[in-house]
């Protein structure tokens, strides 16, 4: 699963993020086109994960320590003492929290992607939900890119790997040597995009130029990257 730059790494911060997301998302229901029952489902996912990552994980870690002590006592404890083994007790679920199917965090990330692509989404909403990048975007004014020419289905293809630095997607444009205008190839939210277009003249190598920029909130953002030129062959 791809890590998202808005989602914190430290476990305690993850609990706070999940709780805030679950509490704040319903307040923006009327501004978004996401189906209401989908919002309710992802709120339930966030509340369940906050419990699992928070209370349940803490209790499990404490039980692991108690288990180690119990094993040591059973192996090397005093022979005149009674045997005592710890018993695992699940921490109670908070009111309104129910177990959810596996994959809750993946569903939350997909919902966030939908929200960021929604016409009603604003940066202010993103700040309240906690879905803006957690680092300073000024350090990354452009997408980071890597290009590689590889064998393709009909001729060579171009693999384009990007780091979005917390943005929703990148806009990829291309222009061939014989073309005057740039053309949109894709708005890609994935780290890998493959240009598998056939050659303009089958069997003849061609030059392809590429440039990228961020895409977020339904519009392009920032400047274009430097143009990368590659030769694509049969």
Q: Are 213 and 225 in contact (CB under 8 A)?
A: yes
Q: How far apart are CA 189 and CA 170, in angstroms?
A: 7
User: Per DSSP, what are the bridge partners of residue 173?
Assistant: 184, 211
Q: What percent of the chain has pLDDT over 70?
A: 97
- Express each pLDDT in 23-65 by its tens digit: 999 999 899 988 878 899 999 999 999 999 999 999 998 898 8
Domain ranges, ordered by start, for the chain: 11-129, 137-232
Q: How far apart are CA 90 and CA 105, in angstroms?
A: 22
β-pairing, 192-195 with 206-216? unpaired
28 secondary structure, DSSP code: G
| Fold designation for 137-232 | Immunoglobulin-like (2.60.40)
- Whether 131 has a pLDDT exceeding 70, the answer reads yes
- Express each pLDDT in 196-213 by its tens digit: 999 999 999 999 999 999
């Amino acid at each position: 699963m791809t890590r998202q730059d808005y989602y914190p790494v430290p476990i305690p911060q993850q609990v706070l993020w999940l709780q805030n997301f679950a509490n704040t998302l319903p307040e923006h229901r009327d501004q978004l086109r996401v189906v209401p029952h989908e919002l309710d489902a992802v709120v339930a996912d966030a509340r369940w994960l906050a419990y699992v990552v928070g209370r349940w994980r803490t209790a499990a870690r404490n039980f692991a320590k108690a288990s180690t002590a119990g094993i040591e006592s059973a192996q090397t404890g005093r022979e005149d003492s009674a045997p005592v083994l710890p018993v695992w007790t699940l921490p109670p679920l908070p009111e309104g929290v129910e177990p959810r199917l596996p994959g809750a965090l993946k569903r939350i990330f997909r919902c966030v992607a939908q929200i960021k692509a929604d016409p009603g989404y604003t940066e202010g909403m993103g700040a309240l939900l906690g879905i803006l990048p957690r680092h300073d975007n000024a350090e990354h004014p452009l997408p980071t890119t890597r290009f590689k020419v590889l064998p393709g289905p009909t001729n060579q293809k171009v693999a384009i790997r990007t780091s979005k630095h917390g943005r929703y997607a990148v806009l990829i444009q291309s222009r061939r040597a014989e073309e005057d205008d740039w053309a949109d190839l894709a708005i890609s939210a994935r780290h890998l995009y493959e240009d598998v277009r056939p050659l303009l003249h089958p069997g003849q190598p061609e030059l392809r130029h590429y440039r990228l920029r961020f895409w977020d909130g339904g519009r392009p953002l920032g400047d274009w990257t430097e143009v990368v030129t590659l030769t694509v062959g049969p």
